[in-house]
Amino acid sequence: MEAFNIFIKSIFVDNMIFAYFLGMCSYLAVSKTVKTSVGLGIAVTFVLVVTLPINYLLDTYVLRPGALDWVSPELKSIDLSFLSFILFIAIIASFTQIVEMVVEKFTPALYSQLGIFLPLIAVNCAILGGSLFMQQRNFANIGQATAFGLGSGIGWLLAIVGIAAIREHMSYSKVPKPLRGLGISFIVTGLMGIAFMGFMGIKF
């Protein structure tokens, strides 16, 4: 039940885009059409769902203060948490590389659709941000960490598809010249964020 709660919360209340601005760069750069934004959203969700449990295990059994207890009791006092940035980003970057190669080998059609976005995912703040929030929030088990990854990914997908749809429609409206493109996207995202704040406090 707790995992489901985390899942819902990370989609609506702690939305990666609207509450923490994570992954904004690709969010603004790729949201020109709905079709490509759906592809990128799914890829981000997939990478989040896989890397979060891996990083959770890494954090619990290697990095945390006292985590090396299972190797031998003498290692109990070791605190490796300062290494977490470099290990997390290494896991994410190498996993993105693997996904890219696997997709290229087995489903070339999907690869040509996602091609340019896949390497971009390694430097998407939403992915590393997910791992760092996971570490900060001390989830009780791997199920909760996975639920958080899935929820954050879906929240990100929802946000990017939403803005892409709005931007497609906005091409017909008369926006003041200096505000066109980037400026209005920022303001629309801000307004969407205010709308999403209406979800604050929901609980199951």
Partner 1 sequence: MSSSRKQILINPISKNNPVVVLMLGICSALAVTAQVKPALVMGVSVTAVLAFSNVIISLLRNTIPNRIRIIVQLVVVAALVIIVEQILKAYAYEVWGQLSVFIGLIITNCILMGRLEAFALGNTPFDSFLDGIGNGLGYTAILLIVAIARELLGSGSLMGYAVIPQSFYEGGYMNNGLMILPPMALIVVGCIIWVHRSIDKDLQEE
Decide: is 4 part of the binding site for partner 1 (CB under 8 A). Answer: no
Query: The tokens 């693997």 sit on which residue?
Result: 98
Both tokens assigned to 52 = 């979060």
Decide: is 133 part of the binding site for partner 1 (CB under 8 A). Answer: yes
Decide: is 197 part of the binding site for partner 1 (CB under 8 A). Answer: yes
Q: How far apart are CA 49 and CA 44, in angstroms?
A: 9
Q: Within 61-120, which residues bind partner 1 (CB under 8 A)?
A: 82-86, 88-90, 93-94, 97, 119
Smaller CB distance to partner 1: residue 70 or 85? 85
Decide: is 180 part of the binding site for partner 1 (CB under 8 A). Answer: yes
Q: How far apart are CA 46 and CA 37, in angstroms?
A: 14
- 23, 149, 153, 162: which one contacts partner 1 (CB under 8 A)? 23
Decide: is 29 part of the binding site for partner 1 (CB under 8 A). Answer: yes
Both tokens assigned to 143 = 């199920």
What does the DSSP assignment read for 130-156?
A: HHHHHHHHT-SSHHHHHHHHHHHHHHH
Residue type, 193: G
What is the contact surface with partner 1 in residues (CB under 8 A)? 18-25, 28-29, 82-86, 88-90, 93-94, 97, 119, 122-125, 127-129, 132-133, 136, 176-184, 186-187, 189-194, 197
